[in-house]
Structure 1
């Protein structure tokens, strides 16, 4: 499912113009990259604010409609107000379907309760990473990567090389030889001792 978002071209630039837009319930933004020149845009604040709550909005190729013309883009940067629930600025990057993209995608951890380390040893899974940097063509971009914890034993660690990646998706860190830990299964000393004493 592709997420669509509407925008209009923005002609007035500068801080004053951006402030006026925000007062009107709009968010200034920019689209850059690809063949076209950078284009200043404005978006409806509330619509954008709710879309930003969707995990998929941050890790999907989006369909951005600017004055009726659709472009395939990625969300690249969001500036939020320090304490108000307000989006101040947003950046989108055009997608070239023939070029690989680098994106951070979220990790979804499943089956922790089935793992021997949790079931038998009363351990807890600690998530070392919550997202991972991947490289792939836009059409192969996954919304998230599932991390199956069902085989984890007490004291074990799951690494990037243990992840089952979707087809045509690579992890640049692994290519560089950085096999980072993704999750560890920790057993609390007290819990183990109590169960042996009883």
Structure 2
């Protein structure tokens, strides 16, 4: 069965930050049992998930996102804690959180609107910025909320990084890393 490729727009994390997160992920892997851990090169903050995208819509979305990027200056983000989505005893997604950022919300709204204007029907859940670290709990015991406090041991101060660009990624589910940068839109 052929896998359809998907596309999404995201804030790319700088290489230096990805390498710091890689060290944290390696430590967390031994302490918190999840089935699939994200490759450090795939770390990002999703702004708009497009799914399978017709070429003409994708092209229009790229043009509109490029215009939106030109009106957004680079800004700082701070990774400050761990969290999860799903059942509190058996989470489906384990993630790192960023402190609230008005700039990130504004950028997400611009990218989201650009994609809607290009004709994409996007997810309507409220935006919850996060960096996915792992998926699918596989522990014998229930997940413990206290495990989220490990971040403070790994990174006592927030991990700062500069958001400099929006990237259009394409997924390749059979590869590692699985996200390929198709187009980069520098924040100006």
TM-score normalized by the length of structure 2: 0.21
TM-score normalized by the length of structure 1: 0.20
* Larger RCO: 1 or 2 (CA < 8 Å, sep 6+): 2
Q: Which has the larger radius of gyration?
A: 1
Which structure dedicates a bigger proportion of its chain to helix? 2
